[in-house]
Structure 1
Amino acid sequence: MCTAISYKNGSSHFFGRNLDLEMEYPVSTVITPRNYEFELRNMPHIKEHYALIGTGMVIDNTPLYFEAMNEKGLGMAGLAFFKFGYYPPVTEGKDNVASFEFIPYILSQCESVEESRKLLENINIDNTGFSECLPPQALHWIISDEKESIVIETTKEKGLKVYDNPFNCLTNPPTFDYMLWNMSYYINLSGDLVPVRFADDKDGLVEYSRGIGSIGLPGGVDSISRFVRAVFTLRNSKSADEPLKNVAEFFHILSNVQQVSGEDEVKPGEYEITLYTAGGDTKTGVWYHSTYYNPTIYAVDMKKEDLDGKTLVVYPFKKDFVIPFDN
């Protein structure tokens, strides 16, 4: 499955995610310039828009974004929502947007979470698939700027719901309202020095280790555990407000919820891993990524490209492990 975060530190804001799956995808860093025409299936085409950069696949000259940000600093990611996600058919009187179009639909038109809320008021995420080979996948989405985050879910029971996201994090099922409620179990976790509070009489109680405030922090790779652990790490992160240290901190936070091969068997002999970690600095327009077998961090600067063009710019991920020798 996956974990996405919105990370703010000083003057920097990063948005991105881990993609956890058992199968590889031919992903790339994809830049969509302002004059590329988005040919929506059930809505008018979008001919002029904000430029986008993110991770995805390009099929038939169409960018299928897994996560992305736009030049105004708004980020968005779609994460697996198996067994809960539901897309109704095209509905008259609604703005009908297919799930594979949803990220560019929002990011091409909105500068902020506040603007995206308005665009969501009449939206119907419909059940149109990209092709017979690529039917709709059950997803829910996180949208973030440096000020706030929201989560969008569409289920058969509740329809389309927009949740405020005070934790700036999203993983997978169950529904986001449960994730919010579940955090109450962990209100005493702390990254700070904590006193012994078990009893007035502390005889026989030994502070045997550092990090005692984190006892009870879930360590599993399931979606609930990853959500709690990512939020704990995100909220307790301390980093100097320096450009490269902020990049490193963003990757360190997501490394705390990465999945190692063998931890999560999804089918006999098949294991889910963190295929990649990717995200961008919404202030600079630089998109970063590393992969499971190549932890080197690579970067693409969208501002170095012709953002007034009409042609997609694609940089395939470098997945082969390279180890530099010092001698």
Structure 2
Amino acid sequence: MCTALNYTNGHHYIGRNLDWDFDFPNDVVVTPRNYPFQWRNGKTCTSHNALIGMAIIQNDYPLYFEAANDKGLGMVGTAFAGFAKYFPKAEGKDNVATFELIPYVLTQASTLQEARALFDNMNIWDIPFSEQQPTSPMHWIVGSKEGSFVVESTKDGLKVYDNNWGVLTNAPTFDWMSYNMANYVNLTRHEPTIQFAPDMKGIDLFSRGLGSSGLPGGVDSVSRFVRVAFTNLNSVCDPDPQKNVAQFFHILSNVQQVRGEAEIKPGVFEITQYACCIDTDTGIFYYSTYYNQSLTAVDMNKEDLEAKTLVSYPVLKEFQFHAQN
């Protein structure tokens, strides 16, 4: 389970909470412009946009969970169990495997419109990275300053949706999630007007924030979608880049999972393994982990982006704090 967020306030930011019941051996990975991508459809991409994101490197290949390129475009994949369906290789289509979809899009597209055009003739190919790593049921959000869209491959084929919420969680489908938002149209960040009955008296607005009463508080995918969408669309922050990084993590913290809330099997819990935010204007990747709440940053522009080899930084997961005395 995961929550992805596309956020713009001066700069553009994209990132996510990654929620899972075990820890991944992941790194922050920079893919320079001349690293050769060998797509499974037989084509090769040797000169392309540079990328930064969280990934597992297998056989010198970056398996990205999310990433952004040096042109201001980002992409995040989240779990889509029970609904994702991929298809055999199709003649006349652009066949792309799930594990290579994020780099496939971000290496080639520089704008949201260019990214969307890549899906016009695409087939999400049901082919695993290896025998030991089968395909994972996923859907994706692609975002920039211009907005975002969602891509889902289901039994009905490939669907691309405009995303007015700037949010993606998990199942069910994105169109259902959007339809469900009608249940929450009365939520407001303002002090509510009493509408219980005509000329109603005797109701005491005993607390601040009553306009948000009814905002779902569960860690399930539907509750997280509604809660982070409400928080995102009502976010108010000065257009200072560092303040907006903090704001981004505050929005995600509203849907983070704490150990003990979601037991997957006896003694095994799903938690927010890490949260991340990519400032696509600066190329800086920020992250925190479950036990290391301090923000750590990796700047892609401090690397040689004309190189041919991957650059990786191990994720700092141990508890850290700043002592003032």
TM-score (norm: length of structure 2): 0.98
Superposed, 1:1-327 pairs within 5 Å as 1-9=1-9, 11-156=10-155, 158-327=156-325
Task: Output the CA distance in 2 between the equivalents of 1:264 and 1:165.
Answer: 28
The 8 Å contact of residues 76 and 144 in structure 1, kept in 2 or not, is answered as: yes
Give the Å deviation of 1:200.
3.1
The 8 Å contact of residues 80 and 171 in structure 2, kept in 1 or not, is answered as: yes
The 8 Å contact of residues 294 and 321 in structure 2, kept in 1 or not, is answered as: no
Query: What letter is aligned with 1:189?
Result: L
The 8 Å contact of residues 34 and 308 in structure 1, kept in 2 or not, is answered as: yes
Residue aligned with 1:179, SS: helix
Residue aligned with 2:29, SS: strand
The 8 Å contact of residues 54 and 279 in structure 1, kept in 2 or not, is answered as: no
Deviates further, 215-224 or 185-194 = 185-194
The 8 Å contact of residues 29 and 54 in structure 1, kept in 2 or not, is answered as: yes
Q: Which runs of 4+ in 1 moved over 3 A?
A: none
Deviations along 1:294-322, one digit per CA (max 9) or x if unpaired, are: 00100011111100110101011100001
Give the Å deviation of 1:171.
0.2
Residue aligned with 1:69, SS: strand
Residue aligned with 1:64, SS: strand
Aligned length: 325
The 8 Å contact of residues 19 and 277 in structure 1, kept in 2 or not, is answered as: yes
Give the Å deviation of 1:243.
1.7
Identity of aligned residues (%): 54
Give the Å deviation of 1:193.
2.3
Q: 1:159 to 1:23 in 2, by over 3 A?
A: same
Task: Output the CA distance in 2 between the equivalents of 1:167 and 1:284.
Answer: 24
Query: What letter is aligned with 2:143?
Result: S
Task: Output the CA distance in 2 between the equivalents of 1:234 and 1:17.
Answer: 13
Query: What letter is aligned with 1:154?
Result: S
Deviations along 1:208-259, one digit per CA (max 9) or x if unpaired, are: 1000100110000000000000000001111111121111000000000000
Task: Output the CA distance in 1 between the equivalents of 2:234 and 2:104.
Answer: 34
Gapped runs of 5+ residues in structure 1?
Answer: none
Task: Output the CA distance in 2 between the equivalents of 1:77 and 1:104.
Answer: 11
Give the Å deviation of 1:91.
1.1
Task: Output the CA distance in 2 between the equivalents of 1:268 and 1:175.
Answer: 29
Residue aligned with 1:182, SS: helix
Residue aligned with 1:294, SS: coil
Residue aligned with 1:203, SS: coil
Deviations along 1:42-86, one digit per CA (max 9) or x if unpaired, are: 140111000000011111100000000000000101100001111
Query: What letter is aligned with 2:296?
Result: Y
Residue aligned with 1:180, SS: helix
Give the Å deviation of 1:195.
2.0
Task: Output the CA distance in 1 between the equivalents of 2:154 and 2:265.
Answer: 26
Task: Output the CA distance in 1 between the equivalents of 2:148 and 2:322.
Answer: 39
Query: What letter is aligned with 1:291?
Result: T
Give the Å deviation of 1:324.
2.4
Query: What letter is aligned with 1:316?
Result: P
Query: What letter is aligned with 2:260?
Result: G
TM-score (norm: length of structure 1): 0.98
Residue aligned with 2:18, SS: strand
